[in-house]
Structure 1
């Protein structure tokens, strides 16, 4: 029995991990395009400046160095976003709002349970990570990280580059950007993030038989399209992949994106 229970938990954890479908939560699909309101993300930017570092293909977060004061800065930032009605904003402000909110919540979840080897260790007993947990309340509605990514960002904007914007605190994930998203820099950051990831080994690793791709291209194939559409997307940022052929495999590293 002592052996069976851990084995059962492992099987349940990995079997229950599957990429959610893009399914619109209609309530959030509204905006005020005449609004000139600008959300201040400077607090998040200050944390990125202080604790995010680049190393080879990765941007790593210095979780162990975050001061109690800066933990409170993060908490205050999230509280302020939770009191902001995103529906009163224009779509450009909304996109930056949701991406920064997702990434900031993810960092806070790691800090709350630190030290931890992987975000997959968070969440309930039978869960694989915290993505289905209630994490914030906005406009009186409780949201999970899955809600933000798969019921708001993906279905409303229908831009596969969103997968390069949201960060799951793992080495295999597209990097957390050094800049907070804003309405003005979103396009630049999305293009930069896509190019960086696709030109990294964790995004596309060529081998003698073909290529090993990040599992995000498998999990979210509905966003990237069939093989020919995927290759077209990849070659847009890495031209040599336009002739990609052979066997395609997938891999993902769930280790924490930690700078030690």
Structure 2
């Protein structure tokens, strides 16, 4: 029995450490550069305005307070997004579409399973979280959160700031932004999200010659480049003294980002 337990612990540890690679799903690569179509994200904005609590060091969500009527509005918003063919949008509109879809699906997933202490408690017995579950159908294709992040967003846009935009409902995650992503604001919002995370202790925490970084920089190191490139990226947004990445450790808090 101890041997079996050790094997299970090793298995689950490998699940945590093995972040998915960016692997393009070619079906979603198409876009319409001349499209002027604008996707309406107002329902999602209303929910953020009502239930997101922005604190100086952490953004939290009031899951327990969400009314049945607003749960319906969230479901309606997601059904509306599912009825859109994002391949007919321009790239800017597509980016906002996928990020908002990811974040709204994550909130709905928590609400559907509330109360819980961590999103990692969801999924099957041999799963670390629900990220591979098919949660939405878009243009006849069933999609998971991992599909959206690692098979669409990361390989198409190749922008490390994507990791600051998608939210996994955890305290260690970059904050859920209080403003929905749109075609016109997404670049400024990505910079704002990067700035907030990098200047938070959960993102970058220097102490003498050592620096504790979010595990995001370990899991997705290929997106940030070499240690020198990562250091330049961090210092691009870092306020105060620049960070030198000498001795580095990593940490992540999977507790639910809930406002009590």
Settle same-fold status: TM greater than 0.5. Answer: yes
Distance 1:4 1:64, change over 3 A: farther
Asked whether the 8 Å contact 2:231–2:245 carries over to 1, the reply is no
SS at 1:159's partner residue? coil
Judge conservation of contact 2:234–2:243 (CA < 8 Å) in 1: no
In structure 2, distance between residues paired with 1:69 and 1:211: 45
CA contact (8 A) 2:117 2:255 kept: yes
For each residue in 1:98-131, what CA deviation from the matched residue of structure 2 results, as whole angstroms up to 9, or x when unmatched? 0000000000100010000000001111100000
Matches of 1:226 and 1:258, distance apart in 2 = 34
Task: Tell me which residue corresponds to 1:12.
Answer: 11
Kept after mapping to 1: 8 A contact 2:227/2:245: no
Q: Do the aligned partners of residues 243 and 128 (structure 1) sit closer, same or farther apart at CA in structure 2, a change above 3 Å counting?
A: closer
Whether 1:191 aligns to 2:191 is yes
Cα–Cα, structure 1 residues 123 and 241, in superposed 2: closer, same or farther, change >3 Å? farther
Instruction: Give the distance between the partners of 1:243 and 1:10, measured in 2 at CA.
Output: 35
Distance 2:3 2:134 in 1: 30
Equivalent residues in 2 for 1:1-260 (5 A)?
Answer: 10-17=9-16, 18-238=18-238, 240=240, 242-260=242-260
TM superposition score normalised by structure 1: 0.95
Q: Secondary structure at the match of 1:248?
A: strand
Distance 1:241 1:132, change over 3 A: farther
RMSD of the alignment, in Å?
1.6
Contact 1:31-1:91 within 8 A present in 2 as well = yes
By how many angstroms is 1:208 displaced? 2.4
Q: What's the CA shift string for 1:151-202, capped at 9, x where partnerless?
A: 0000000000000000000000000000010001101110100001000000
Q: Deviations over 1:209-240 (max 9, x none)?
A: 31000000010011000100000000000165
- For residues 243 and 8 of structure 1, the distance between their equivalents in structure 2, rounded to whole angstroms, comes to 38
Alignment CA distance shift 1:50-1:28 (3 Å): same
**Gapped runs of 5+ residues in structure 1?**
none
Other structure's SS at 1:31 match? coil
Asked if structure 2 preserves the Cα contact closer than 8 Å seen for 1:232 and 1:242, the reply is no
Alpha-carbon distance in 2 for matches of 1:243, 1:82: 43
Cα deviation for residue 245 of structure 1 reads: 4.0
Contact 2:224 2:230 in 1 (8 A): yes
Cα distance change of structure 1 residues 254 and 45 upon mapping to structure 2, 3 Å threshold: same
Contact 1:234/1:241 (CA < 8 Å) preserved in 2? no
